[in-house]
Amino acid sequence: MKNLTLFFIALLTSGLGLAQEAEAIKEKPQGHYNISKFRQLKQELPTPNTYRTASGAPGHEYYQQKADYKMDIILDDENQRIYGEEVVTYFNNSPDDLEYLWVQLDQNIRAPDAKTADVKADGASTMYNPKKFTEQFLGKPFPGGFNIDHVKNIDDRDMDYTINGTMMRIDLPKVLSSGEKVSFKIKWWYNIPNHVIDGGRSGFEHFEDGNNNYVIAQFFPRMAVYNDVEGWQNLQFLGRGEFALVFGDYEVNITTPEDHILDGTGVVTNRKDMLTSKQWKRYQQALTSYDNPVVIVTQEEAEENEKNSTEKTKTWKLKAENVRDFAFASSRKYILDGQAVKIGDRTVMAISLYPKEGNPLWEEYSTRVVASTVKSYSAHMFDYPYHKAISVHAQRQGMEYPMICFNYGRPKPDGSYSERTRNGMIGVIIHEVGHNWFPMIINSDERQWGWMDEGLNTFAQLLAEQDFEPGFPSRGYPKNVVDYMAGDQSRITPIMTQHDNVFNSGSNAYSKPAAGLYILREVVLGHDLFDKAFKTYAERWRFKHPTPADFFRTMEDASGTDLDWFWRGWFYTTDYNDIGIKEIKKYQVTEEPNEETINRYKRYGMTKEDLKGKYLFLAEMDVDEQSSDVNSYADIATLNEYLSDNFSAAERAELKNTKYFYEIVFEKPGGLVMPILAEITYADGSKENKYYPAEIWRFNDKEVKKVLGSEKEITGIKIDPNQLTSDVNQENNSWPKKEKESKFDSFKNQTATD
Ligand SMILES: [Zn+2]
């Protein structure tokens, strides 16, 4: 019976409870996944292993493949064609057996059946040049792409191969075991595209004088990367995501018209035979000219060259060790100059190749900029290991290869140029020469992660630009990404996005990661810790293949600082930073607890008298009211007595100096967590900087308070006064508030009504 009664009561209560419970569920805040912005990146980062450690260094079983190339190349200037025969020797240093090899055929992006154009959604353009119009609409696409004559093994037997877009699978007659190598031969040719008309990262420019300027890259079948991270790299080359390449040694013979001047990756072993005796003598002078460039092939000689063409040819011999790629530039129009740069106890040559159309800009700046860049980057990362760095002038190019890069920046035909052209040229040369570090030597996978080379390099570029010319308008500053980060969220991707899928690559892969590193250096870690950690990353992964996790982990490991919150916010989300001042409260010291305090302590059985004997109290006052100092407090006798009962004489003296008490309420409309940089201005005009680490936002992501005691009255507070944190809204950064609609607010209002 008793149990039955209980049952009824239970039934009754649960029956009654259903509706209430539903109400309760509705009202009760629901649970959530761990959304703390400070949670560690456990799920985002791969598990450390023997190839890549938890500290971000290569593990004890780290390996990388190697590919050596011996190539004979013919540059056919008459038909703008290139022919090649190559012997590739591939070393399998992985622990795995390989049944086939994947080779990259990047020129196939230019093949008539290339998918590149098909995956690009494009509307009608209102203007086409005749060549493009013919290609796109009249069914006569440019006959580009590799023509593979054969793939043979070293005994001249044909090997089976399958072409898949920009990739080619070569089937091995016998499994390539761990530790073994295999050699094979490929014979190929292709039509060189005109990069000025068709775009792309290499090709030729045709001049009105009938001559061509060839900047040649991605020109031979190159081994794809096989490693512990991706297996075989299998993302097609679509044009944006650049290259994943293995290191190796190169011996390359390039046959050009006899009147061409050429340079490229590696040592030109027969340079003496390629130059006139006068030019060779000037070249020798350049080798010891540390202050100024020496012109080796003069403009007069170049102008003489470009008057006629020739049927005769000559063969340039180049040799390079431990490079991830090979490129060259060739033209009868080239002027050549060079300068020596001391790096450690070695001499590196800074070299420029440019047609006369680049002057007077190029003779003035190019080689000097190369020399300065090599010095700056060596200081910030590690000494430049190669013997030369070349800057080639090519219209609309800004593209990097080991030891050589192609750069824009052309004056008007009358030789005049704008500040913008000059700075653009200097900036692009610093950037492209800088790519020798990222990714040519610190060999990240560009196809996957554009930011790992572009972002890190844009950051280092900023340092080198300021070394070359203090105040140079560098793009990597945090304030330069504010508009991008505050913009339309549907047009922003997290930095951690595969490069072909990135919206607005310039901001996403270049400026934003660069600004992030700038913030880490200037705001979060400071120069010493940051530079040490960044250098550690560079040194650990020089001539190796790092991943994002290796970078994130090394920066934490070498600086002894947990930065997961920074990587999470800046690299894995599209959140922006906006920190502001919501409110300022002003207080003075009293011996009287206020009503609220008295009520709060009532529940613990404490009375006003209990509190008065043990504590000091702050009484809020109007923020504009002139603060009374401690000694002039209304009931001064009582306060003094109270103070002498509870403080030592020394403490009382200090207290007399601390006259003003402020509570600052910081608000954070932005999604990112970021340190608070507050510049306090006092009544006497002096300023003080307060720094609150990002961790201040751990328990309240929207609003935090700080109390300041001060001798002097505070007349103003400004958050991030030097714009170091990409704060998207400056209008809430100041107290007293400025009455003005911000750019950000007007932007928000605009999008809200659109
Ligand atoms: Zn770049």
Give the distance (Å) from ligand 1 centre to CA of residue 514: 12
- 636 has a pLDDT exceeding 70: no
- 22 has a pLDDT exceeding 80: no
C-beta of residue 301 within 8 angstroms of C-beta of residue 279: yes
> pLDDT band at 634, cuts 50/70/90?
very low
Could you give the C-alpha distances from 452 to 51, 56, 193, 325, in angstroms and in order?
Answer: 19, 15, 29, 18
Tens digit of each residue's pLDDT (9 = 90 or more) over 703-735 = 999 999 888 889 999 999 999 999 999 999 999
Give the pLDDT score at 637. Answer: 61
Give the distance (Å) from ligand 1 centre to CA of residue 437: 11
Tens digit of each residue's pLDDT (9 = 90 or more) over 8-18 = 333 333 444 55
Give the distance (Å) from ligand 1 centre to CA of residue 446: 10
C-beta of residue 735 within 8 angstroms of C-beta of residue 581: yes
Q: What is the pTM of this model?
A: 0.91
Give the pLDDT score at 562. Answer: 98
> pLDDT band at 626, cuts 50/70/90?
low
Beta bridge partners of 339: 350
Give the distance (Å) from ligand 1 centre to CA of residue 442: 14
Give the distance (Å) from ligand 1 centre to CA of residue 428: 8
Residue 686 burial by Cβ neighbours in a 10 Å radius (0-12, 13-18, 19+): exposed
- The Cβ-side half-sphere exposure at 547, using a 13 Å CA radius, reads 20
- 628 has a pLDDT exceeding 90: no
Preceding amide of 439 cis, omega within 30: yes
Give the pLDDT score at 649. Answer: 82
Residue 290 burial by Cβ neighbours in a 10 Å radius (0-12, 13-18, 19+): exposed
Beta bridge partners of 251: 70, 319
- 321 has a pLDDT exceeding 80: yes
> pLDDT band at 134, cuts 50/70/90?
confident
What is the spatial distance between Cα 680 and Cα 687, in angstroms, rounded to a whole number? 5
Least trusted range by pLDDT, from 112-116, 256-260, 324-328: 112-116
Q: What dihedral do alpha carbons 548, 551, 555, 560 form, nearest 10°?
A: 80
- 119 has a pLDDT exceeding 70: yes
Give the distance (Å) from ligand 1 centre to CA of residue 344: 26
Give the pLDDT score at 15. Answer: 43
Give the pLDDT score at 652. Answer: 76
Average pLDDT over residues 618-637: 62
Tens digit of each residue's pLDDT (9 = 90 or more) over 305-316 = 999 989 999 999
Give the pLDDT score at 638. Answer: 65
What is the spatial distance between Cα 447 and Cα 236, in angstroms, rounded to a whole number? 9
Tens digit of each residue's pLDDT (9 = 90 or more) over 23-36 = 655 677 778 888 89
Give the distance (Å) from ligand 1 centre to CA of residue 14: 67
Give the pLDDT score at 613. Answer: 67
Give the distance (Å) from ligand 1 centre to CA of residue 432: 6
> pLDDT band at 612, cuts 50/70/90?
confident
What is the spatial distance between Cα 739 and Cα 729, in angstroms, rounded to a whole number? 14
Average pLDDT over residues 148-159: 97
Give the distance (Å) from ligand 1 centre to CA of residue 239: 14
Tens digit of each residue's pLDDT (9 = 90 or more) over 191-232 = 999 999 888 899 999 999 999 999 999 999 999 999 999 999
Tens digit of each residue's pLDDT (9 = 90 or more) over 519-539 = 999 999 999 999 999 999 999
Average pLDDT over residues 39-56: 97
C-beta of residue 427 within 8 angstroms of C-beta of residue 465: yes
Give the distance (Å) from ligand 1 centre to CA of residue 465: 15
Least trusted range by pLDDT, from 377-386, 463-472, 621-630, 642-651: 621-630
Give the distance (Å) from ligand 1 centre to CA of residue 424: 13
> pLDDT band at 122, cuts 50/70/90?
confident
Give the distance (Å) from ligand 1 centre to CA of residue 199: 16
> pLDDT band at 753, cuts 50/70/90?
very low
CB neighbour list of residue 27: distance below 8 Å, 6 or more residues apart? none
Which candidate, 279, 322, 288, places its Cα nearest to that of 544? 322
Give the pLDDT score at 96. Answer: 98
Least trusted range by pLDDT, from 129-133, 303-307, 483-487, 703-707: 129-133
Average pLDDT across the chain, whole number? 91
Q: Given the structure tokens 């002096």, which residue do they identify?
A: 686
Give the pLDDT score at 23. Answer: 62
Give the distance (Å) from ligand 1 centre to CA of residue 510: 8
For residues 636 and 753, the model is more confident at 636
